[in-house]
Amino acid sequence: MHKPWEGRFKERTEEFVERFTQSVSFDKELAFYDIRQSIAHVKTLLKAGILKEEEAKKIIDGLEEIERDIREGRFHFKVELEDVHMNVEGELIDRIGELGGKLHTARSRNDQVATDEKLYIKEKTVNLLGLLKGLRKTLVLLSERSLDLVLPSYTHLQRAQPIRLAHYWLAYREMFLEDERRFIRAYQSSDALPLGSGAVAGLDFPLDRFYTAEELGFRRLCRNSMQATADRDFILDVLYACAVCGMHLSRLSEDLILWSSEEFGFVDLPDRLCTGSSIMPQKKNPDVLELIRGKTGRLYGNLIALMVVLKGLPMAYNRDLQEDKEPLFDSLRTLEGCLMGMNLVLEGLSLRAENMLRASGGFSLMTDLANYLVQRGVPFREAHRIAGSITAYLLEREKRPEDLTLDELRSFSELYEEDALLLLDPKVVADRRRTYGGTAKDELLRSIEVAKREEGMA
Active site residues: 156, 277
Q: How far apart are CA 190 and CA 116, in angstroms?
A: 10
DSSP H or E run through 172: helix 165-189
Q: How far apart are CA 302 and CA 324, in angstroms?
A: 9
DSSP 420: G
Reduced to 3 states (helix: H, G, I; strand: E, B; else coil), residue 343 is helix
DSSP H or E run through 322: none
Listed residue (450, 369, 439) closest to 406, CA to CA: 369
Orientation angle between helical segments 366-374 and 380-396, nearest 10 degrees: 140
Q: Give CA 419 to chain center in angstroms.
A: 48
Listed residue (307, 428, 333) closest to 371, CA to CA: 428
DSSP secondary structure of 337-355: HHHHHHHHHHHT-EE-HHH
Beta partners for residue 151, in sequence order: 163
* Radius of gyration, CA atoms only, the chain: 30
Q: Which residues of 87-97 are buried (b: 16+ CB within 10 A; e: fewer)?
A: bbbbbbbebbe
Geometric angle at alpha carbon 213, from 113 and 123, rounded to 5°: 60
Q: How far apart are CA 236 and CA 305, in angstroms?
A: 10
Query: How many residues make up the chain in this entry?
Result: 458
